[in-house]
Structure 1
Amino acid sequence: MKDIAAAAGVSRGTVNRVLNGGYVSPEARTAIEAAIAEVGYVPNTAARNLKRRRSEAVGFLALEPHAVLLEDPNIGAIMLGANAVLSLAGYQMVSLVIDSDRDTERVARYLSGGFVDGAIIVSARAYDPITRLIAQIAMPAVFIGHPPDLDNAIPFVGIDNVGSAREITSRLIATGRHRIGMIACALNRDSGGDRLDGYRQALGDRFDPALVAEVPHYDYLGGVNGMRELLEREPGIDGVFAASDAVAAGAMQVLREAGRDVPGDVGVVGFDDSAWAARTQPPLSTVHQPAREIGRHAAELVHRQIGGQTDVPRSVLLPSPVVWRNSA
């Protein structure tokens, strides 16, 4: 500040007002801004944040294995939507990937150390230690989806997975299919369990648990393995609801290898309306998940909490309509 004041020919108090948003004359501001450029001054953000007890950063926690994280286009879209809002608010988004117990311990220390002011959590599982830590330390946070073991003390943003799964399964039934299976994924999360519930509701008395193949992740390999399992159990299967588009793409590959035409022999539907849906042949009937909007809403909610607002809604559910194409 002394160097800037000397270069601009003003007092240090005037420089202080400019740096901290106070009023000075237009002439003084112009001189000070020119002096800042001349001396190459950059504010010490770490020192400023230490004084304010703010990091001006929000953690983005993806509780997924590395392979799934890189393959899932929804997580990337959620991240970009969140970053757009945080960037406008002057916040840095810090990505924290949790793929092992060691990652969990490291990230838990990081969150407890005050390095971020809030957190956005994607793919939270039931009884996850990270979600419990965030609840314990009362950190401003938002979940994408709702961990089934937590109450509504922490806000969440999501979609109606049950209703959307029920609707697309009903559309599949309406095409005249009689033996409809499901490749169910991630049943330790609300999204996985809810999509299975919606499928079960649509089938009603026709539901057959033998036609549900359970796989751990929303990924292409899960679709491959799940479809092979369904074909072994029921060679006459004529419809498949895959819990994500990546899973549906894997299932369609197995059906092609088995000589089954899609949609002639087997109708296939997915969930997400991601880039996978456009890559499949034929294009995939699916449920649209507004991933970027989910990220934007999550960032807005966590920013409002950091700012001390008390009227933050406990939940935000966004529309998730069926997008019908040619795979069923």
Structure 2
Amino acid sequence: MSTAGPRPRRATIRDVALEAGVSRGTVSRVLNGEPYVSAQAREAIERAVARVGYVPNSAARNLATRRSQAIGFIVHEPHELFLEDPNIGAILLGANRVLSGSDHQMVSLVIDSERDSRRVARYLSGGFVDGAVVVSARQDDTLLTTIARLSIPATLVGRPPATSRVPWVGIDNKGAARAITEHLVGTGRRRVGMIAAALDRDSGADRLAGFRDALGPAFDRRLVVENQLYEYTAGRTGMIELLEREPEVDGVFAASDAIAAGALDALRAAGRRVPEDVGVVGFDDSSWALRCQPLLTTVHQPARQLGEAAAASVLAQLRGTATDEPAGGLLETHVVVREST
């Protein structure tokens, strides 16, 4: 037999009105932030709200406005990378800061498989979120097709495929990769390789293109090892393979800081000194760069600001204040020189 008592009754607008001695319409105008309420009545209502413990029924309000007050934060990466990648975390925190400041809830959705893609598509179709920030969209990503079909306000972090008209914010991955490679070559390196990753999305493909441009005629396709993800394991195994292909390699551009950390460990195990024997550079300026030994020369990208800009873009679309043209916006990057070069 249950010993639980009856659930306490939820305070209503009527309770607030009775406590404040005003009409329910006046209470509603104050709660909705509308004008034409005297300062005296407003103060009485605010005191009454505190006394009766009134909490707005957001579910009822959302039903009436057909808004969920929620924004999806969609990451197309394996679950473990979502937890371990500091850049994704920084983008998430930046987006959440802007959304929470506008009284929107952020809902995290991770796509790790085709089944996940179908699940997220159903979720978006159900109207559970008003918009979406999308990280790591792939070329020919079915998620973008779903967003276009549903006309959901959305912004990508990263440059979208050429056929997509979804607004986006990002960085010049190609230019930044060219700059960091030029720095590496400028330290006197002559046999320079790259541990590339994520070539099925704009960031990975553009970083490889920037590396190729910087080397020009010295570019050797044999000295590029490809991996699927920006992860530590890819750096360790990629460095081992690169040393097998070219034992005399004396410079390495790792496509992310996590990859660079794995490469440094592989070089240490092989008895190669950094930077005396091999110079190593990364990309991101994440927490990985400061955990490496030696400290990592890398490209700083403003991950938190990318999240903030993407969230602000989605909110602007919801308010109807976004520009008609879905042009992308580029945030600045710069090379951070440390001990690995």
Residues in 2 aligned to 1:103 and 1:156: alpha-carbon distance in whole angstroms: 23
**What are the residue-to-residue correspondences of 1:142-221 with 2, within 5 Å?**
142-151=155-164, 153-221=165-233
1:229-268 aligned at under 5 Å gives the runs 229-268=241-280
For normalisation by structure 2, the TM-score amounts to 0.93
- The runs of at least 4 consecutive aligned structure 1 residues that moved more than 6 Å come to none
| Distance of 1:248 and 1:79 partners within structure 2 | 23
Structure 1: how far apart are the matches of 2:316 and 2:83? 30
- 1:233 Cα deviation from its structure 2 partner: 0.7
d(CA) in 2 for partners of 1:286 and 1:2? 60
RMSD: 1.3
Normalised by the length of structure 1, the TM-score is: 0.96
* Equivalent residue letter for 2:80: A
Aligned residue in 1 for 2:82: 69
Q: Distance in 2 between matches of 1:206 and 1:8?
A: 79
Whether the 8 Å contact between 1:126 and 1:149 is mirrored in structure 2 is no
What percent of counterpart residues are identical? 63
2:152 aligns to what?
A: 139
Query: Residue type matched to 1:34 in 2?
Result: R
Distance 2:162 2:241 in 1: 30
Distance in 2 between the 1:38 and 1:57 partners?
A: 29
Aligned 8 A contact 1:127 1:149 in 2 = no
Asked if the contact 2:91–2:305 (Cα under 8 Å) also holds between the matched residues in 1, the reply is yes
Partner of 1:108: 121
Q: Deviations over 1:55-78 (max 9, x none)?
A: 111111011101111111011111
From 288, 293, 307, give the equivalent of 1:295.
307
Q: 1:119 aligns to what SS in structure 2?
A: strand
Which amino acid is the alignment partner of residue 314 of structure 2? V
For 2:82 and 2:25, the matched residues in 1 are separated by 50
Deviations 1:185-218 (A, max 9, x none): 0000000000000011111111111100001100
Task: Quote the offset at 1:282 in angstroms.
Answer: 1.0
Whether the 8 Å contact between 2:313 and 2:322 is mirrored in structure 1 is: no
1:74-89 superposed matches below 5 A = 74-89=87-102
Report the secondary structure of 1:96's partner residue: strand
Decide which of 114, 118, 125 is 2:131's aligned counterpart.
Answer: 118
- Say which of 46, 58, 67 aligns to 1:54: 67
The DSSP-based 3-state class of the residue aligned with 2:132 is strand
Partner in structure 2 of residue 43 of structure 1? 56
Query: Residue type matched to 1:90 in 2?
Result: D
Moved more, 186-195 or 135-144: 135-144
Distance 1:294 1:2 in 2: 44
Secondary structure (helix, strand or coil) at the match of 1:142 reads strand
Q: Provide the aligned length of Structure 1 versus Structure 2.
A: 327
Task: In structure 2, list runs of 5 or more residues that go unmatched.
Answer: 1-12
Residues of 2 paired with 1:264 and 1:178: CA distance? Answer: 14
Counterpart among 88, 109, 114 of residue 96 in structure 1: 109
Q: Which residue, out of 36, 44, 47, partners 1:31?
A: 44
Helix, strand or coil at the partner of 1:272: coil
Task: Letter of the 2:306 partner, please give it.
Answer: I
Residue 31 of structure 1, CA deviation: 2.1
Structure 1 residue 149 displacement after superposition: 4.9
C-alpha contact (below 8 Å) 1:211/1:234 kept by paired residues: yes
Q: Is the 8 A contact 2:160 2:166 kept in 1?
A: no
Aligned partners of 1:316, 1:206: CA distance in 2, in Å?
A: 32
Tell me, yes or no, if structure 1 residue 270 matches structure 2 residue 282: yes
Compared with structure 1, are the counterparts of its residues 148 and 46 closer, same or farther at alpha carbon in structure 2 (3 Å cutoff)?
Answer: same
How much does 1:310 deviate?
4.1
2:118 and 2:307 mapped to 1: Cα distance?
25
Give the SS at the match of 1:317.
strand
Which 5+ residue runs of structure 1 have no aligned equivalent? none
* 1:21 aligns with one of 20, 23, 33: 33
